[in-house]
Amino acid sequence: MREALKQARVAAERDEVPVGAVVVREQKIIARAYNQVETLKDPTAHAEMLVITQATSFLSSKWLQECTLYVTLEPCSMCAGALILARIRRVCFGAADPKTGACGSVLDITRHGQLNHQAQVSGGLLSGECGGILSVFFERKRKNNPNICPPVE
C-alpha cells in the first residue's frame, strides 16, 4: 500500500484526484499507476484501469488470477467490474468511498454471487493516510474554486 500511496502523491502533484494503485504477484510489484483522468481527458483513466492494463500486458494474459491489487481508494463500479473481468484474486483498498465505492460501501460488485468470479476484499489498509491525501486535495480545490468541489453535506 505504501507504493500505491506514492502513486497517489504523483497524481496529486499533477492535479489529478490522488488515487494510486499497484498490482502484486508472487510478492513482487508488476504494475503501478495513478489517476490520469484530467491528463488524458478520459473518464476511464482511473488508477485501477491503468494498472490492470499494465499488469495484463506484463503477464501477456487477460487474467490476473494470481494477483492482488492495492489501491488507495475503494474502487468504483467501473473499476470493480474490470477487476472481476480480469479475475483478480484479491483487492486491498485504503479509504472507503461512501459515495461510489463498489467493494462494499455502496455496491459490492467484487463479491456478487451471481457473477462468474468473486474477489477477496480487504478495506481500511492505511485508511488514514489514504483518506488524508484525498481530503487535502479536495480542500485545496474548494479553496481555489468553491464551485468545483462543493463540500459534502
DSSP string, 22-52: EEEETTEEEEEEE--HHHHT-TT--HHHHHH
List the Cα angle 110/52/28 in 5-degree steps: 100
- pLDDT tens digits, residue range 99-145? 999 999 999 999 999 999 999 999 999 999 999 999 999 999 888 87
Q: Which of 16, 26, 38, 48 is catalytic?
A: 48
Question: Cell 499494465 sits at which residue?
Answer: 54
The pLDDT, as a whole number, for residue 142 is: 85
Tens of pLDDT, residues 32-69: 999 999 999 999 999 999 999 999 999 999 999 999 99
List 69's β-bridge partners, or say none: 23, 91
**Does the annotation mark 48 as catalytic?**
yes
